Amino acid sequence: MDVQERLDELTVMVEDAKSMPLSASCVLNRAQLLDLIEEIRQLLPESVYRADELLADREAVVLDGRREADRILEQARAQADRMVSEHEVYLAAVAESNALRSETMAETSRMRVETDDYIDAKLATFEITLQKTLQTVDRGRERLRSQMYKELAPDNDSDPSEFFDAQS
């Protein structure tokens, strides 16, 4: 049993004691009361020792708690530093990718203009070549027509009846 239970027994004993008529005093069994007090005295050093142990444990627990809190704070600071560093790396990567994208867009635009100019020049050359070819074809056809008309047209010197005789 512990000290608290023994003190509860003592309280019950005093409350249940027979009171003296016309007085606040009561009658208690001396031997029983002294035995209970002696048990309480024997339990007290153990209780004090346990209280000292609990107090020492409390201090150790508080110290362990402080160490753990310091460790957690250090981890949180390290993680925050790492996250800031990662964020800075991310921002640098985004900036570099934006610059690269702008450079690529400018290069692509320049290449499109050059390509369009090249194709336009080639098409113009091809157009000129086609026009010359068409002119050559037109001249050739014109010659063929003129030769055909010369063959079909009677000579002024020849007799028109010869032309009709030649065809028959």
Q: Which domain holds residue 28?
A: 3-167
CB 10 within 8 A of CB 16: no
- List all residues 6 or more positions away from 9 whose beta carbon is below 8 Å from its beta carbon: 36
What tens digit of pLDDT does each residue of 120-151 get?
999 999 999 999 999 999 999 999 888 877 77
Of 46 and 78, the structure prediction assigns the larger pLDDT to 78
Summarize the confidence of residues 12-33 as an average pLDDT: 83
Q: How confident is the model at residue 5 (pLDDT cuts 50, 70, 90)?
A: confident
* 56, pLDDT greater than 80: no
Of 155 and 20, the structure prediction assigns the larger pLDDT to 20
pLDDT in the model for residue 23: 79
What tens digit of pLDDT does each residue of 80-100 get?
888 888 888 888 899 999 999
Residue 69: both structure tokens together: 């809190």
CB 43 within 8 A of CB 6: yes
pLDDT in the model for residue 165: 57
Indicate the pTM of the whole model. Answer: 0.37
* 159, pLDDT greater than 70: no
Side chain identity, residue 46: E
Number of domains in the chain: 1
For 129-141, give one letter per residue: b (16+ CB within 10 A) or e.
eeeeeeeeeeeee
**DSSP secondary structure, the chain, as one string:** --HHHHHHHHHHHHHHSEEPTTSS-EE--HHHHHHHHHHHHHHHHHHHHHHHHHHHHHHHHHHHHHHHHHHHHHHHHHHHHHHHHHHHHHHHHHHHHHHHHHHHHHHHHHHHHHHHHHHHHHHHHHHHHHHHHHHHHHHHHHHHHHHHHHHHSPPSSS-HHHHHHHH-
Summarize the confidence of residues 57-68 as an average pLDDT: 86
Percent of the chain with pLDDT over 70: 88
pLDDT in the model for residue 3: 74
Of 43 and 114, the structure prediction assigns the larger pLDDT to 114
